[in-house]
Structure 1
């Protein structure tokens, strides 16, 4: 599932592929990914405009044009690809934006759980994202600690709640909690000040590394590099990792390194 590092990578794809280029044609191959906008309206709003500097908030990507903004969410299987207009189509290429004479930005998504919206102006884009919490890369420590202490659910539930903190998904939450030595089921409101500060620090370190990699990397020194093994062990202490479900999400953790709480 695309998380903040993946979407930051898509932002860079959009920037390098399309920034400053005229949108010559919008080809909607599957209108099922459009939300609240018709194919005709999408074309009328975008064709002839230029993509400007794109922005990201959490798992959302905002493709600015100086007028209407294309707002994209990638669900579980979405991605943004830079191709040439004459490249063969992939089966899951849903919307194609031909930019300039020789490039094509492709919204590709197998499962179509999210998709594309069109915001008429900046205030309309803000309304689309008004239920999102602060971006996990931009949030300061005070705001982060306040969000945690104000909620009574498990710390993993809070970390993956996009209205509390935007951008973290299942892999990142497990990785960050493992690095911070905190059990996923610990109530967020029960964390000490030292716990919250350690969690914030590990979140920042993990995100910086993952953004540099363009995804949550399955490195051998990371929990992510072990979680899918048949009999996974902790890369820190060698203990068998446990699998459970927290708020309906598959969760992997180390009972020795994350032994706090119940």
Structure 2
């Protein structure tokens, strides 16, 4: 599933459209449109110019230039979605659902499973309404607000980190990586975290996201926990202890029993 580092990569792909005019919009599969029909979606965007793409958590936001009520496209990528920049001569992929055509190429929303999709908002107010339930972006939040939001819930720390209403952007892989780096058990209650724990967690989150965003994904290097997720006998890259695979909040969870004490 795309997480914050992947989605930041999609935002960078979408930078191809900044200050470019939409020549046409091809809706290949209207099932990915949320709350708007194909014709209304096309009519709202054709001949518009896109402004600089933005990201909040796992969402990419594409504003169009113009008045305050100019349309925005809000893209969520579910488990299998992506943005792809293609030349006009590149054949459509079978999972290309919506194609925005420009003089310089095409921005394609590609998604195999179609679990989420594209929303159309009329102006900043509608954008704010669509994103109202999201917490602050994980890459932008400060240490004090991070600690306050995380400890206002009485759940396990992994479940809290993955709750998009608490913090926007972290998914299963990022949460496992972060907790391993901070040496915190995934089931530990947020109310049991000390000030040092919370400071360390925030510090490790910033460092992890910085490196992952630079790579365009959560790296699967040998020094990262993520690099051992698919091994038949995974070992901790820090202490070589056999890693545990359990389920936390219904999600497959990888952790080290030596480094991450309950």
- TM-score where L is the length of structure 1: 0.97
Give me the whole-angstrom Cα distance separating, in 1, the residues matched to 2:244 and 2:27: 44
- Residue of structure 1 in register with 2:199 after alignment: 197
- Which residue of 2 is the match for residue 24 of structure 1? 23
- Name 1:90's counterpart in structure 2: 93
SS in 2 for 1:165: coil
> Per-residue CA shift, 1:61-119, capped at 9, x if unaligned?
100102100000000000000001221111100000001x2300000000111100000
Measure the CA separation in 2 of the matches of 1:254 and 1:18: 43
Distance 1:255 1:47 in 2: 55
In structure 2, what is the equivalent of residue 63 of structure 1? Answer: 62
Gap runs ≥5 in structure 1: none
Match of 2:35 in 1: 36
Which residue of 2 is the match for residue 109 of structure 1? Answer: 111
SS of 2:196 mapped into structure 1: helix
Q: Which residue of the other structure, out of 223, 230, 233, is the alignment partner of 1:231? A: 233
Poorly superposed stretches of 4+, deviation over 4 Å: none
Q: What is the Cα deviation at residue 227 of structure 1?
A: 1.3
Residue 250 of structure 1: aligned partner:
252
Structure 2: which 5+ residue stretches go unaligned? none
DSSP-derived class of the 1:194 partner: helix
Match of 2:130 in 1: 128
Once residues 88 and 157 of structure 2 are traced to their aligned partners in structure 1, the CA distance between those partners, rounded to angstroms, is 46
Q: Where does residue 152 of structure 1 map in the other structure?
A: 154
Secondary structure at the counterpart of residue 252 of structure 1: strand
**Larger mean Cα displacement after TM superposition, 243-252 or 82-91:** 82-91
What do you get for the CA RMSD once the two structures are aligned?
0.6
